[in-house]
């Protein structure tokens, strides 16, 4: 579920003309322990409970027509594999950060949260 500005997404894709644009979301993960850096058995650094920052796929994609036309009919292609093949071929794959509301519904807890969010929106209408 998302409130991404699709018009801005399509304008960005059209302006930069990549093979694909991937909507991304920043995801922060705090390691719950002190992290040890080492060389062999010698500790070189200790960072207490560091936060790692990643950009993850929001599962929203824009594909250039030539990418769509290059795919074989009736053949299953996972999006990560398709994007990797475009990158390997030297074609541009861009990211479009999503700052608006976004919730992945691939896990049951998130799906239930999405149902609650949708119900609260409908109550306001």
Domain boundaries, the chain: 6-124
CB-neighbour burial class of residue 94 (10 A; exposed 0-12, middle 13-18, buried 19+)? middle
DSSP string, 71-91: SPTT----HHHHHHHHHHTT-
Res. 31 pLDDT band, cuts 50 70 90: very high
Quick: pLDDT tens for 47-60.
999 999 999 999 99
- Share the mean pLDDT of the chain: 90
* CATH of region 6-124: 3.90.550.10
Other Cβ atoms within 10 Å of 18 Cβ, number: 20
Q: What is the pLDDT of residue 101?
A: 76
Res. 107 pLDDT band, cuts 50 70 90: low
- Rounded CA separation 61/23 (Å): 6
- Rounded CA separation 38/62 (Å): 42
Q: What is the pLDDT of residue 112?
A: 72
Question: Two tokens at 48?
Answer: 């207490």
Q: What is the pLDDT of residue 35?
A: 98
């Amino acid at each position: 579920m998302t409130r991404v500005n699709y018009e801005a997404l399509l304008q960005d894709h059209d302006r930069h003309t990549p093979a694909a644009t991937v909507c991304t979301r920043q995801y922060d993960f705090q390691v719950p322990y002190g992290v040890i850096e080492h060389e062999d058995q010698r500790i070189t650094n200790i960072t207490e409970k560091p936060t790692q920052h990643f950009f993850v796929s929001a599962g929203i994609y824009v594909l250039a027509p030539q990418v769509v036309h290059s795919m074989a009919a009736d053949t299953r292609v996972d999006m990560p594999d398709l994007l990797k093949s475009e990158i390997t071929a030297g074609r541009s794959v861009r990211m479009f950060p999503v700052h608006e509301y976004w919730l992945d519904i691939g896990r049951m807890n998130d799906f239930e949260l999405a149902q609650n969010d949708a119900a609260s929106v409908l109550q306001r209408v």
